[in-house]
Amino acid sequence: MNTTSSQAGKQDKLISPLIDARAKGEKDNFPWSPEVPAYLEKVYWWAYVRPYAVAFFDHEPIVNLILLGNMVKLRDLALDALGQSIQGRTLQIACVYGDFSIRLAQRIAPGGSLDIVDVAASPLENARRKLLPYPAARVMQSDSANLKFADATYDQIVMFFLLHEMPKDVRDKTLSEALRVLKPGGKLVIVDFHKPSKFNPLRYLYPLMFKVLEPFALDIWKHSIAEWLPKDFVPAEYAQETFCGGVYQKVVVRV
């Protein structure tokens, strides 16, 4: 698919409200009301959808607690896979609590740009506020399963703990969309959960938590991310590493 003027027009419509809001210094008048997918409202209303959820979770100690003290390590694993000075156009799919996006914005090289998409209004507004000091960064509403960007738009894309929160159909479409909007030679970096090694007690504790709070997460234990890539896609490179006794994984896919 090629970029068409109607696609470009759609993109401009999404981006311009933020630029306008910034230019006017309107910090508390977020311009979009995105539609939240049913699974997100049903399963994760308490974590992302309600404004008070974002206000509660978006604190370093809380994020670090959820990631068992590994927030900085995992954040830097993802960011280092993108580079110290990140050239060209970067896309972060889905907002992330803590300082992930700020650190990412700080690594954007002069002339480069960072776009962050999310489907829910509260995380977007929160990210927009955090990123006001970084003019290269902008936030936009988009469902990751149907990205509002032309083919081959981005040089690199990052997803941080997103896939385990999605039902299979959304996960498949999200990966396929990410690969579609990557430029040839571009890189997709994914950091997410992985099945802990045999002697790690978390292997037996996590399923209890997943059962109550994260019903789609066990999929990422049972399957390799490679299995969810489009059937006809042949990566130029696919590299997976696991960390912290197998609890987390980093996958880098080059198109």
Ligand X SMILES: C[S@@+](CC[C@H](N)C(=O)[O-])C[C@H]1O[C@@H](n2cnc3c(N)ncnc32)[C@H](O)[C@@H]1O
Contact positions toward ligand X, by CB under 6 A? Answer: 37, 40, 48, 63, 94-97, 118-120, 123, 143-145, 160-162, 165, 170
Distances (CA, A) of 125 to 24, 31, 120, 130: 16, 9, 9, 9
3-state secondary structure 86-106: ECCEEEEECCCCCCHHHHHHH
Q: What share of the chain is helix, strand, coil (3-state, %, to 5)?
A: 45, 20, 35
Report how far residue 123's alpha carbon sits from residue 117's, in angstroms, rounded to the nearest whole number: 10
Question: What's the closest the beta carbon of residue 25 comes to ligand X, in angstroms?
Answer: 25
Question: What's the closest the beta carbon of residue 145 comes to ligand X, in angstroms?
Answer: 5
Question: What's the closest the beta carbon of residue 18 comes to ligand X, in angstroms?
Answer: 16
Question: What's the closest the beta carbon of residue 81 comes to ligand X, in angstroms?
Answer: 16
Shorter beta-carbon distance to ligand X: residue 39 or 238:
39
Question: What's the closest the beta carbon of residue 82 comes to ligand X, in angstroms?
Answer: 16
Shorter beta-carbon distance to ligand X: residue 155 or 177:
177
For 65, the token pair is: 């607690």
Shorter beta-carbon distance to ligand X: residue 10 or 109:
10
Distances (CA, A) of 185 to 66, 89, 230, 253: 34, 13, 17, 10
236 neighbors 255 (Cβ within 8 angstroms) = yes
State which amino acid sits at residue 53.
A
Shorter beta-carbon distance to ligand X: residue 124 or 252:
124
Shorter beta-carbon distance to ligand X: residue 176 or 237:
176
187 neighbors 159 (Cβ within 8 angstroms) = no
Question: What's the closest the beta carbon of residue 96 comes to ligand X, in angstroms?
Answer: 4
Shorter beta-carbon distance to ligand X: residue 159 or 253:
159
